A and B are shown apart, each in its own frame.
Chain A
Amino acid sequence: MRPPKELPNPLPRPDGEFERLQAVWEPPRGWRALTQVNNTAVGLWYVGAALLFLVLGGILALIMRTQLVVPGNNLVDYDLYNQLFTMHGSVMMFLFAVPVIEAIGILLLPAMQGARDLPFPRLSAYAFWAYFVGGLVFFTTIFFDLAPDGGWFMYPPLTSYEFSPGLRTDFWLLGIGFIEISAIAGAIEIVVGILRTRPPGMTLDKMPIYLWAMLIVGAMIIFGFPPVILATALLELERAFHWPFFLAERGGDPLLWQHLFWLFGHPDVYIIFLPAAGLVSMMVATMAQTPLVGYRWIVVAMLGTGTISFALWVHHMFATGMPHISLSFFSAASMAVAIPAGLQVFSWIATLWRGNVQRATPTYFLLGFFGVFVLGGLTGVMLAVVPYDWQAHDTYFVVAHLHYVLIGGMLFPVFAGIYYWAPLISGRQLSERMGTWACAIMFIGVNLTFFPMHIAGLLGMPRRVWTYADGYGLEIYNLLSTIGAFIFAAGIGIVLLDLLLHFRPAGKVSTNPWKAGSLEWLPQDNYAIRSIPFVTSRDPLWQHPSLPEEVDAGRHYLPGTVTGGRETIVTSPIDARPQYLLRLPGPSWLPVLAGVGTAVFFLALTVKWMLVAVAGAAVALVSILRWLWQSDVAPSGKLFDVGGGLSLPDYLSGSSSHSWWSVVVLMLVDGSIFACLIFTFFYLWTITLSDFPPESLDLPLLGSSVAAALAWAASVGAMYVAHRQLRPDRTKVVSLALAAALIGVWVAFALSLHALLATNLRPQLHGFASTAYTMLAWQGLHAVLLTLMAGFTLLRLWLEMVDPVRRVVFDNTRIMWYYCAAQGLIALAVMNLPRLAM
């Protein structure tokens, strides 16, 4: 695509254009500052909260290292220690690593893609508030002796009701619930944002490499989080109601948890690493002042990493006694994932060779990243070697490896990023002097802490031990690790001090200290950039040196506000052709209330304060409904001139709508959870073979199952009628059809329930029954969801807020309906399948 001849727009710009733009993006002050939804505010809070949890998780680690400084120490007892390591892992993974990568995405993506904001600002705000409030409360359990103590991996049966009674484990299972929701919300925002709010002309192959990383990671979250969402739900069902999923004596299997957990857990490592690698690619090219070498190879490598990462979870299970020959597949996959990593490393090194590298703090942190990450990668290859893993697995060798990979692969790039991008937000650089010192101290600290752990592990020190015996040569290595941990902490402290002293978010920022080529270094303000350029290369600022000046003068697209509110341009997902103007919502308490309500719901549910839980859920639900009610803004029917000879509508429905995309992504998440449930069913079937269900148990009633399937079909038919009849003069017919469709859903649900309840199947009896009832409960949850959606749609229909043009709400309900019907039919078919085997 070529830029239109009309660009840049002529000067001078009309009077008041700039002032109106400023006015609509003006952030609220005082208490109402908390209602901000703009990514520049929410993103910054989000990063700050993640860093807070890094510090909190780090303090837990320091306590553990102090306990282990000498053998037989009694600074903390076993009970507290077990809570400490569980919380350290959980906080670092769920409250730091995953949130910080989403936070950086929310903060930087709009700037890098020349958008005013991401498409769902309130969703970002909601994700932040649920995470921040829930995370803080979750963390305080450590002060009340209520922190989980089953390890961040929570293997049953240790974590099931028999061996872990009490609330501790529930805090983990439910407490992680809101983090999962928050992560998914963030992923939807990021994926739809990258696909639909890029600047005109920024085709997929011109995206900054970080966008590729985040797009792939968003997809990985969509498919990677569902296994753990399902696993935590199943374990909570087992704990609360004794439904067996992981209990071998009643048709469950403890290894089912490990499969589900690591099917999440391993992709999660790359969910954390790939965005950091994306940041590295951006920074390496800038610091070397030359375009990234092997852009396409890096994209291929990241796609490869994302794909392979779903095929190597079993390498966490090499010691479970599986036959060696079957482990070799996962061994090969685990080694293969080193190839895309190697590709990226060589691309970066080649870039460094080709350019003149600026000697500054980001470069030093990048070098630290190389050193630490490459070593962690090499020990990763060692662990992929099955016989070697039989020794190293579950020892301090693995502790060393994973910290090298995560600190090297994520923390160093993020800290490089802090020094690199801080000027973008505060207008000036952090202290080079403090940064250099911090980098050196952190590098020494991380190696002193973790290198000796490799040796301690091989000398026979297992993980997760609160004490160890003397006389086995472990003393010196533990002493070194403890000293190193404090040195490392000091390095992080210097960075935080530097931020405290030198980081002040500024409104208007116009700086490019590293002479970067990407769009985020255009002059920024609350409204992001003044006008949105037509992008023709991967490094627009290098290709077009006058761009910052032109953009800031309003000489590109959308130099003001044309609808009178906040807005950004939606483009097509692949070739970024401008399609319509997305009217963005402004500040609101609703996402705050919804986020806090969600966190309160999960946490109150844990301690069984049912009234509080219900209140939290109600607040969240009402806030979300109210916010959704405001979201489908009425189309004006006009075309708006956004400059450069381009006129855009302010509304599109169907697959062009950004909202449609978000529902599709949500259905992918939903479908992945359901697929994991189906996997659970077949897994338990193959484990128990002919005993599924055992002789003593019935199968679901065939008659009721068939009737339920017919009810689903009728419901879909009614929905289709509503879809075809959606015209202003047919409101009554559409209403009746919608109501009929809803009745069909509940009839289908009732018949499915009857198919189980009329037999002797009870969920406590056997893995077959518990899985069947869980599928049913899942349908019930969706029946409630469809009821809400149908009611919402009907109400808007009667208020004449739905018509053949303004039909996004209706379409969202409709596609969700079809999805739920398909899911219901599959569930009915699957739970009747053992019939065929009889």
Chain B
Amino acid sequence: MKMTLFATCAVLALGLAACGGGEPAKPSEPVAPAAEVTPVPEATPAAASDTPADVPAFMKTRHENYEALGKNMKVLMDNMKSATPDMAAVTAAAAEVKKTADVMGTWFPAGTGPETGIKTGAKANIWTDRATFDAAAVRLQTEATALAAVTDAAGFKAQFPKTGAACKNCHDTFREEEKDH
């Protein structure tokens, strides 16, 4: 029995791994140098109650916005690791993060959640526990605003972890972990 179970697990695991390895190569995008700012795509602002006209396009843009946010966070983290952060790059990336944080609360109008059947990391509790979600968005906006206002390396190194913690605060509750790719 145990042997069968192990054998099954092993075969399944190998099968899953094989699937991961068989993905076609993504179309190549120009890779921005670390210091270059990745502009955040403009969001389609919408009130929490208004479902956008083109839901799939809206959700796709939302996803791309998070990808861009991630790239800016990467620039910030790389500088966080440096003894002498490139403050020009930090300021530029921080401005983009703030720009994103300012509008993130509008990115989740009704009808753009997992109920659409479209692949999304947005969990349904964004809409059922809106007050908590909005508070998390405000917290990010506060921390990102403070981050965009830093002028020196010490200030940056003190404020960046707080900004990351605001991201994590929301992710822990409202973001679905990716289980497959």
Specify whether A and B are partners.
no
Footprint of B on A, CB under 8 Å?
A: none
List B residues at the A interface (Cβ < 8 Å).
none
